[in-house]
């Protein structure tokens, strides 16, 4: 509309030209807080929201069998005869059964909701904690539920403490795991490019991002889908 007019003429008309300000989110991640009235962490609120979400979506399966077969092949070539794996946040428990069949080893799933007892090889357990017998004794961990963590730094350190030396933790990440996808049910959202930085900072030299793999199959509604492979030293 102002093309061809000088700044003075524009100002006489009562307008002003200013550069457009772009809103840039420089942190690259968001973390939803569960607070009580005193502003302290409200664990019961977190647990209740997760359990309600689990029950609302109990008929759904996010993991894709072809992707799990692809990851099982990846694990086979990097870990000699894996014996024990854990999948975290598994709802209907499909991923542990697919891994177990492909690798011929024990794989269990954790699930915070009491629906865990309805699915094979699934225990009702909050993945922010480790059972003492898991420490240093798991060959691989897989999760597509890391975005459900209320404290991703604590969570990843707990998972990595369970792995044997050179064990692998595979975190599924997609466009729905990004900041715009975060909410009360999925409290952690991060851009894919910020994940290696966060993981390196959180690990404090104990583990490293070994590789980022592109998923052979994408879920509906996602624009990109990757597997972040983290290896224990």
Ligand X SMILES: C[S@@+](CC[C@H](N)C(=O)[O-])C[C@H]1O[C@@H](n2cnc3c(N)ncnc32)[C@H](O)[C@@H]1O
Q: Which residues bind ligand X (CB under 6 A)?
A: 50, 54, 61-63, 88-91, 95, 110-113, 126-128, 144-145, 148
Using CB atoms, what's the residue nearest to ligand X?
89
Q: Is 189:29 a contact under the CB 8 Å cutoff?
A: yes
Q: Which is nearer to ligand X, 98 or 207 (CB)?
A: 98
Name the minimum Å distance from CB 192 to ligand X: 17
Q: Is the dihedral of CA 94, 100, 101, 102 positive or negative?
A: positive
∠ CA 35-38-42 to the nearest 5 degrees? 30
Identify how many contiguous H helices and E strands the chain contains and give both numbers.
6, 9
Q: Which is nearer to ligand X, 90 or 232 (CB)?
A: 90
End-to-end CA distance of the chain, in Å?
62
Q: Which is nearer to ligand X, 145 or 226 (CB)?
A: 145
Name the minimum Å distance from CB 9 to ligand X: 58
* Number of neighbours of residue 78 by Cβ within 10 angstroms: 17
Name the minimum Å distance from CB 81 to ligand X: 25
152-162 helix and 195-203 helix, angle to the nearest 10 degrees: 70
Name the minimum Å distance from CB 166 to ligand X: 25
Q: Which is nearer to ligand X, 62 or 74 (CB)?
A: 62
């Amino acid at each position: 509309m102002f093309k061809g007019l000088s700044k003075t003429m524009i100002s006489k008309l009562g307008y002003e030209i200013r550069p457009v300000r772009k809103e840039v989110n420089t942190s690259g991640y968001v973390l939803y807080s569960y607070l009580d009235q005193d502003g302290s962490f409200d664990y019961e609120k977190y647990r209740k929201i997760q359990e309600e979400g689990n029950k609302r979506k109990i008929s759904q399966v996010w993991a894709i069998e072809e992707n799990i077969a692809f990851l099982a092949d990846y694990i086979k070539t990097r870990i000699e005869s894996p014996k024990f794996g854990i999948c975290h946040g598994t709802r209907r428990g499909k991923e542990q059964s697919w891994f177990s069949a492909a690798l011929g080893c024990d794989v269990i799933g954790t699930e915070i909701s009491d629906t865990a007892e309805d699915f094979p090889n699934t225990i009702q357990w909050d993945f922010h904690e480790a059972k003492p017998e898991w420490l240093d004794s798991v060959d691989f961990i897989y999760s597509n539920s890391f975005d459900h963590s209320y404290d991703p730094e604590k969570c990843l350190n707990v998972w990595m403490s369970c792995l044997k030396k050179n064990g692998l933790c595979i975190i599924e990440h997609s466009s729905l795991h990004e900041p715009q996808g975060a909410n009360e049910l999925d409290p952690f959202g991060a851009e894919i490019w910020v994940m290696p930085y966060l993981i390196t900072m959180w690990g404090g030299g104990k583990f490293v991002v070994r590789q980022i793999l592109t998923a052979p199959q994408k879920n509906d509604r996602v624009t990109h889908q990757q597997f972040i492979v983290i290896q224990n030293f």
